[in-house]
Amino acid sequence: MKHSKKIFAALICSVISVSAFAQKTYVLRQNYPTGYKYDFSINSDQIINQKIDGHEIHLTQNIGTDYTFDITDGHNGEKDVKVTYNKIFMKSVAMGTTMTYNSDEQDSTKKNPFSGLKGASFFMTVTPNGGIKTVAGIDKMLDNMAAKMSNDTSEVKQIKNELSKQFSTDVVKQTMESSFKIYPGKQVKIGDSWTVDTKLQMSMPIETLTQYTLKEVKDGIAILSVKGTLLSKGSFEVMGNQMETDLQGTNSGETSLDIKTGIVLNSHLRIELYGKMKSMGKDIDFEMQGINKIVGKEVN
């Protein structure tokens, strides 16, 4: 009888132990340590198919940006970060024509809109959920970029005006949030899900509603499964042409982050976007498939 009681007690303890483990919660948040530096490489590969008046246009693009985040200060969970562009490049191939821009190419005799970005920097304050509270230093950054690209005063002003469309405070804020605003804002356990709504206006306006699920935790690294929807409905300008979009799509994949710091270590997402666009009164059938990747690492 005593032996049976011991077995029963052991089973109860085992069940309690398993239950406690299953219910273990984790805090996933931005917790960048002050004084540290991190490099992030963000890369996007895209295949775009368009049909205009029965004519098909196939386009491939590769766009990449390398940043350094210097964590300069912290207060109430928020962190001040100096962001420096180490490299930005783009390669576009369409109808047999290849166009390449690279910030590493510093030849002043060539028109290169990325040449002024190498070494350019701005400042931002990041909240615990990965949102961007403030962005500062953009105007000064644009002045420095434009000055590197021309010695002509009137041309510098024109260059800055064009750059401000791609690197305005709002665009920079949205770009950073689209990559790093991923945290739940509450304690979660394996199997829990949460949603994050972000907006991005680069070439076209895109709103993303993404569901993250804590899939696994191993050796201090959290693995998140990602599944979301994309919506692009609005107008934008490309090379002086007004465009309208009515697109929808999906994003899916995985993201891994360091639980202690919240740093994104690796992210691999598949993007699909399809629907209609309109330009100069013409309807355009649009379809895009892409892979977005982020790799982060400490550089101290």
In a domain, 33, yes or no: no
Same domain, 195 and 138: no
Residue 285 shares a structural domain with residue 211 = yes
Last residue of a domain, one of 154, 181, 208: 181
Same domain for 197 and 156? Answer: no
Kind of pairing between the strands at 264-279 and 282-298: antiparallel
| 200 and 295, same domain (yes or no) | yes
Q: What is the pLDDT along the chain (300 residues), one digit of tens a residue?
A: 545 545 444 444 544 444 444 579 999 999 999 999 999 999 999 999 999 988 999 999 999 999 999 999 999 999 999 999 999 999 999 988 998 888 888 665 566 667 778 888 999 999 999 999 999 999 888 887 787 777 778 788 887 887 887 788 888 999 999 999 999 989 999 999 999 999 876 667 899 999 999 999 999 999 999 999 999 998 887 767 788 999 999 999 999 999 999 999 999 999 999 999 998 888 999 999 999 999 999 997
Q: Is 3 left (phi over 0), alpha (psi -120 to 50) or beta?
A: alpha
Which of 147, 181, 215 is the endpoint of a domain? 181
Whether residues 161 and 200 fall in one domain: no
Q: Is residue 58 a part of any domain in this protein?
A: no
* Domain containing residue 277: 187-300
The residue out of 161, 181, 201 marking a domain boundary is 181
Residues 164 and 197 in one domain: no
Tokens for 258, please give them.
């360091």
- Enclosing H/E stretch for 157: helix 153-166
Query: Total structural domains in the chain?
Result: 2
Return d(Cα 16, Cα 61) in angstroms, integer. Answer: 54
Euclidean distance between CA atoms 128 and 195, whole angstroms: 16
CA pair distance 205, 233, nearest whole angstrom: 7
Contact (CB, 8 A) for 196 and 212: yes
Residue 148: count of CB within 10 angstroms of its CB: 19
Identify whether residues 170 and 102 lie together within a single domain.
yes
Question: Amino acid letter at 38?
Answer: Y
